[in-house]
Structure 1
């Protein structure tokens, strides 16, 4: 059995990072979506995942959880230069940038939940959110200037670093957050990537919704799945 267990593509930023990597390298795996925040979600995930969370890669007898670990597994499967930049110096920086996104930007995550198909008003610009926006903009511009000569992405050609920042790019669009010219050009390249465009259409077609309110998250279905 070869499966990639995912949450809703529209809302689960953790899921779409390794999913985009898997699709870019053509990993032959069945994609299985477990809708999040329903009463039976945790029970379903506990049956298959050691953490009861998504994403999860099941590859025959091997189980790999957590988006960065799955990405590294795919990189080993795909071979050099397919997931991370081939140049060693660029590859080290790409991993650092992806790890920073993986663990950082708490204000952006909290105030601007990922919602690919929707558009929302920008939240109040707290000091934390301003700092996150400034760091992201500066990082994208720096990486493009230093490593981006070979294409429109952070390291020229598409890499896992772009997969990890795709959910950030969508947040800037969803909430109308400001970007400098070079950073916006990078965001436009991510949103125009054919693999993302397919994912975006799938997110739009999902029947489930999640709402964020003062009492937490709620969920439901607009129509029967399938």
Structure 2
């Protein structure tokens, strides 16, 4: 009798604080991959360094599937696209697909000032928040990316009627804008509302709210 294949495992950090974990989880769910979640120990030094933006490399989330281990969010996206080509993680059109990859890579590798000035914290919502001036160019660039995509592909997601890898990559940014009451255009605000209402996001946010509060030093304004 053939042995049943092992379920995929996704190693995650904090659901409240870790934008990378959110991205990896969204990608797996969008692909339709059944996963078992494994949480990194809250006192793990590498985990804490990643959440405090002190680590030059991010090893979480990590997807383990069919003898393969993948630990970078874009690598996870490309791997899932190979395994589940019909899931539509990337746009079908060649030009749009290249655009999707480009902006996903841009948010993956840049925007350091935005990350440090507006750390992800799903439990908090500010009515008013003073934003470090150095983050404004990052915010402006994000808004430009969103406006171009929504105009070119018709919305409500960045590449049309359904979410793609780009939406998974920018989802944590929408939460940062909501959390810190960032002043953004109506177009950007509408996109943030679209992502906020996305059933997968609602599921993640609900789970984050139920997560034990064990990392109080991360709940700071820096």
TM-score (norm 1): 0.83
1:185 lines up with 2:196 in the alignment:
no
1:161-209 Cα distance to aligned partner (Å, 9 max, x none) = 0000000000001111111011111110000001110111001000134
- What's the counterpart of residue 158 of structure 2? 154
Q: What is the CA distance between 1:69 and its match in structure 2?
A: 0.4
**Which runs of structure 2 are paired with 1:136-175 in the superposition (5 Å)?**
136-147=142-153, 149=154, 151-156=155-160, 157-175=162-180
- Structure-2 residue corresponding to 1:85: 91
Instruction: Give SS of 1:73's match.
Output: helix
* RMSD over aligned Cα atoms: 2.2
* Deviation of 1:121 (Å): 6.4
1:15-94 alignment runs, 5 A limit: 15-36=21-42, 38=43, 40=44, 42=46, 53-80=59-86, 82-94=88-100
Q: Write the distance in 2 (CA, Å) between the matches of 1:15 and 1:126.
A: 25
Aligned residues: 204
Structure 1 unaligned runs (5+)?
A: 44-50, 217-226
Q: State the Cα distance separating 1:115 from its structure 2 match.
A: 0.6
SS at match of 1:108: helix
Task: State the Cα distance separating 1:80 from its structure 2 match.
Answer: 4.5
Normalising by structure 2, report the TM-score. 0.84
Runs (5+) with no aligned partner, structure 2 = 1-5, 48-56
Against the structure 1 CA distance between its residues 94 and 77, is the aligned structure 2 distance closer, same or farther, given a 3 Å change threshold? same
1:9 and 2:9 matched: no
